[in-house]
């Protein structure tokens, strides 16, 4: 499973590096603000981040599941609660027809 590329984005703007989406990938959690950017193709895409085992002793956190409509630009904030306590990475699953779907990770630096 590969890490999704991170782009540092200052407040004055920078293009986020986008690549073809995979059914499963990881996001390194950290930095000031870490958000997943998903640009969909002609069909909706469901993005899911599961709360990893051992990340929450209380067991009361819900998985993040977000449906991105067709032909849209989406920014999804991924909080530290989704990071695996061992790797520091969140696992992101994408489902639907992934043809034309791109994604990247944005880290706000300014």
Give CA–CA dist 55/21, Å, rounded: 26
Q: Is the pLDDT assigned to residue 13 strictly greater than 90?
A: no
- Is residue 41 assigned to a domain? yes
| pLDDT at res. 14 | 66
| Digit-coded pLDDT (tens) for 19-74 | 899 999 998 887 666 778 888 889 999 999 988 876 655 566 788 898 999 999 88
SS3 string, 15-41, reads CCCCEECCCEEEEECCCCCEEEEEECC
- Is residue 99 assigned to a domain? yes
- Is residue 95 assigned to a domain? yes
| pLDDT at res. 1 | 72
Categorize the per-residue pLDDT at 81 as very low, low, confident or very high, splitting at 50, 70 and 90: confident
| pLDDT at res. 68 | 92
Total number of domains in the chain: 1
Using the 8-state DSSP alphabet, how is residue 81 labeled? G
| pLDDT at res. 23 | 92
* Domain span including residue 26: 6-108
- Is residue 27 assigned to a domain? yes
Please check whether residue 30 is in contact with residue 105, taking contact to mean a CB–CB distance below 8 angstroms. Answer: no
- Is residue 1 assigned to a domain? no
Give CA–CA dist 4/107, Å, rounded: 12
| pLDDT at res. 97 | 87
- Is residue 30 assigned to a domain? yes
Nearest to 4 by CA among 99, 90, 95, 110: 90
């Amino acid at each position: 499973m590969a890490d999704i590329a991170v782009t540092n984005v200052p407040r004055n703007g920078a293009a986020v590096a986008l690549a073809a989406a995979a059914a499963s990938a990881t996001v390194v959690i950290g930095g000031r603000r870490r958000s997943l950017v998903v640009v969909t193709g002609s069909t909706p895409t469901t993005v899911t981040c599961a709360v990893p085992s051992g990340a929450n002793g209380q067991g009361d956190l819900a998985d993040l599941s977000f449906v991105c409509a067709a032909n849209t630009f989406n920014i999804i904030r991924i909080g530290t609660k989704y990071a695996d306590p061992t790797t520091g990475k969140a696992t992101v699953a994408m489902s639907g027809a992934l043809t034309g779907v791109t994604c990247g990770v944005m880290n706000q630096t300014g």
